[in-house]
Amino acid sequence: MNQLLEKIKEFGIVPVVVLDNAKDAIPLAQALCDGGLPCAEITFRTDAAEDSIRILAKEFPHMLIGAGTVLTTEQVDRAVLAGAKFIVSPGLNSKIICHCAKKNIPIIPGCSTPSDVEQAIEHDLDVVKFFPAQQAGGLAYIKAIAAPYVGMKFMPTGGINAQNVKEYLTYDRVLACGGSWMVKNDLIQAGNFDKIKALTKEAIEIVKESRGN
């Protein structure tokens, strides 16, 4: 498996962040790092995404910063140029996967059906996002879909929180979980970075528990 994906596995959780204002990028990143999780997927849902990635790549070079909600090859280019180290998309788009392969940047596309997973295999991928995880059938569905595709690992995202993340993480075909519960937009907007740090610490404790240490 790609080294960067190994790193994501080590973290166990990828915070999915929506930033309305790039000025929040630094305190947000500081809270994540202080909480013990130097990793973030900055989503291209807002205009602030590209600047936020650029700021974090420069100011927090030790952090693993990726771009999420990537829907076009143009966004891939902007994300990579800004310094994103990985790309995540909600669905599987062959054009985007080929573009990422050309640029040699890891992509984790969203899958929610066996056909999606088979397309990912066609592209030689061994990790996919499972989205929307909780709503599409949760861990039971992942176990069922993982059975025939023995080489595939999953990053469940969507509806995951401090209450249900542990059960996902204890399944060995789950690489890591994605989620926004520790970086909720209202906490960012309220400047409540202490709470973000506390929720991040709690999340990291759950990762440790799921690994029996």
Ligand X SMILES: O=C(O)C(=O)C[C@H](O)[C@H](O)COP(=O)(O)O
What are the residues binding ligand X (CB under 6 A)?
Answer: 16, 43, 68-69, 88, 90, 110, 131, 157-160, 178-181
Nearer Cβ to ligand X, position 13 or 22? 13
* Residue from 50, 85, 129, 197 carrying the catalytic annotation: 129
Nearer Cβ to ligand X, position 96 or 146? 96
Backbone φ, ψ for residue 172 (5° rounding): -70, -15
Give least dist CB 58 to ligand X, A.
23
Nearest 5°: CA angle at 80, between 75 and 84? 105
Question: Chain-centre distance of CA 104, in angstroms?
Answer: 18
Nearer Cβ to ligand X, position 55 or 70? 70
Backbone φ, ψ for residue 177 (5° rounding): -115, 145
Q: Which residues is 89 bridged to in the sheet? A: 109
Position closest to ligand X via CB:
90
Nearer Cβ to ligand X, position 59 or 64? 64
Give least dist CB 69 to ligand X, A.
4
Q: What is the DSSP letter of 178?
A: E
Q: Is 129 a catalytic residue?
A: yes
Give least dist CB 212 to ligand X, A.
25
Task: Look at the alpha carbons of 166, 167, 172, 177 in this order and tell me if their dihedral is positive or negative.
Answer: negative
Give least dist CB 180 to ligand X, A.
4
* Residue from 7, 9, 23, 41 carrying the catalytic annotation: 41
Token pair of 85, please?
């180290």
Residue that is written with structure tokens 């809270």 in the block: 31
Tell me the helix, strand and coil percentages in the chain, rounded to 5: 50, 15, 35
Nearer Cβ to ligand X, position 43 or 200? 43
Q: How many Å apart are CA 96 and CA 75, to the nearest integer?
A: 9
Q: How many Å apart are CA 78 and CA 183, to the nearest integer?
A: 23
Give least dist CB 16 to ligand X, A.
4
Token pair of 131, please?
């989205």
Q: Is 41 a catalytic residue?
A: yes
Residue numbers annotated as active site:
41, 129
